[in-house]
Amino acid sequence: MARSNETFSKKEKEKKKAKKQLDKKEKAAERKANAVKGGDLSDMMAYVDQDGNITSTPQTLQKSVVSADEIRIATPKQVNIPGEQPTGVISFYNTDKGYGFIRDNQTRENIFFHVNNLQFQAKENDKVKYFTEKGPKGLSATKIEKA
């Protein structure tokens, strides 16, 4: 007597597969039966209120007038307080090329300086007082004195 090629586990897998396909077909038929076609556009619209919540009713907008002067695109990195001269330490100085950077004591940001703005013979780690002005690539230190 010859043995069957189908084992018990194969039969079980095939039964599960057939049941899964049948369930899938039933769900598709149910979706088709309950589908609402050609719904109104207003049923599909959603609105956002002032607090950011989604609602089904349109909201009335309250327009506010904003002056162009009030809009700030970027925050200034450093503001000099009148009467108070900023201080810092020369963190980098290239004598060959004639430029360097001062690390500000208060904001810890690096400020570019050129050798022409030095009022003394400088070297790295010197404590300095200076003024800043807006340069083509950002802030530049001017009138640099030893502190």
Answer whether residue 100 is part of any domain.
yes
Answer whether residue 97 is part of any domain.
yes
Answer whether residue 114 is part of any domain.
yes
Going by pLDDT thresholds of 50, 70 and 90, the confidence category of residue 58 is confident
How do residues 97-116 score in pLDDT, each as one tens digit?
999 999 999 889 999 999 99
Say if residue 80's pLDDT is above 60: no
Say if residue 25's pLDDT is above 90: yes
What was the pLDDT predicted at 135?
85
Answer whether residue 71 is part of any domain.
no
How far apart (Å, rounded) are the C-alpha atoms in residues 16 and 11? Answer: 9
Going by pLDDT thresholds of 50, 70 and 90, the confidence category of residue 53 is very high
How far apart (Å, rounded) are the C-alpha atoms in residues 105 and 30? Answer: 72
Q: Average per-residue pLDDT in the chain?
A: 87
How far apart (Å, rounded) are the C-alpha atoms in residues 118 and 145? Answer: 7
When divided into structural domains, the chain yields a total of 1
What was the pLDDT predicted at 111?
94
Domain residue limits at 102: 87-146
The residues pairing with 112 across neighbouring beta strands, listed in sequence order, are 101, 140
What was the pLDDT predicted at 3?
66
Beta carbons within 8 Å of 119's beta carbon, 6+ residues apart: 143, 144, 145
Answer whether residue 124 is part of any domain.
yes
Going by pLDDT thresholds of 50, 70 and 90, the confidence category of residue 145 is very high
Please report, for the domain that includes residue 95, its CATH number: 2.40.50.140
Beta carbons within 8 Å of 116's beta carbon, 6+ residues apart: 98
